[in-house]
Every structure is written in structure tokens, then in C-alpha cells.
Amino acid sequence: MRSLAVAATGLLVIGLGSSVAWGDDSKQLFEKSCKPCHGASGKGDGPAAKGKNKPPDFATALKGKSEADIVKFLKEGKPDLKPPHQKPKLTDEQLGGLAKYVKGL
């Protein structure tokens, strides 16, 4: 019985460790790919956010949007934005993590 509890605890620690690493990866992706325009807190106030096409504040733009909606946007981009939104070359797992990260800002 005791070995079962130890094994379960080990699995929990492994699960938590991978979750933290995934979150860190998502944060790094955001900081590299999104933060220059969208800013550190997603308010559209990054150093590259200048001109007429200021990026939207995520708090407003993502209201009512699911993580799947965000992933779809990231995959397809939005051609009417000027300059056009970049389509990142990321895996579905990375896109899902990024969407989750952005929703948490």
C-alpha cells in the first residue's frame, strides 16, 4: 500500500513538473513572438505597436473567445490587418499553450 502511495506521489510530481515547463515554454513563446506588439500584459502597448494599427487589448478582444478560437486565429491569421498578423510556425501543442497563456493575461 505504501509503495502505491509513493508511486502516485511520484506521478503527481512528474505531472506538475511537465505542466510548469509547458507554461514556461508558452511564456517564452509569447515574449518572443507576441510581446513586441501586444506588450507584456497584452494591452497592445508593446514597443513595436506604433501607427494606425495598434494591436488590441487582449482583455477586450478575447472576451468570450475560447482557446480554440485563439488557436484558429493564430493558425489562419487575419489578412485584413495591416501589417498582416504573422502566422507562427508552431505545433498544435505550442499554439494551445500560447492560447492558454494569452487567456490568462
**Domains of the chain, earliest start first:** 2-103 (1.10.760.10)
Distance in Å from the first CA to the final CA of the chain: 42
In the 8-state DSSP scheme, what is residue 63?
Answer: T
Task: In whole angstroms, give the CA distance from residue 33 to residue 50.
Answer: 16
Task: In whole angstroms, give the CA distance from residue 9 to residue 99.
Answer: 29
Total-model pTM: 0.69
pLDDT at residue 6 greater than cutoff 50: no
Task: In whole angstroms, give the CA distance from residue 31 to residue 25.
Answer: 10
pLDDT digits (tens, 9 = 90+) for 81-104: 655 566 668 889 999 999 999 999
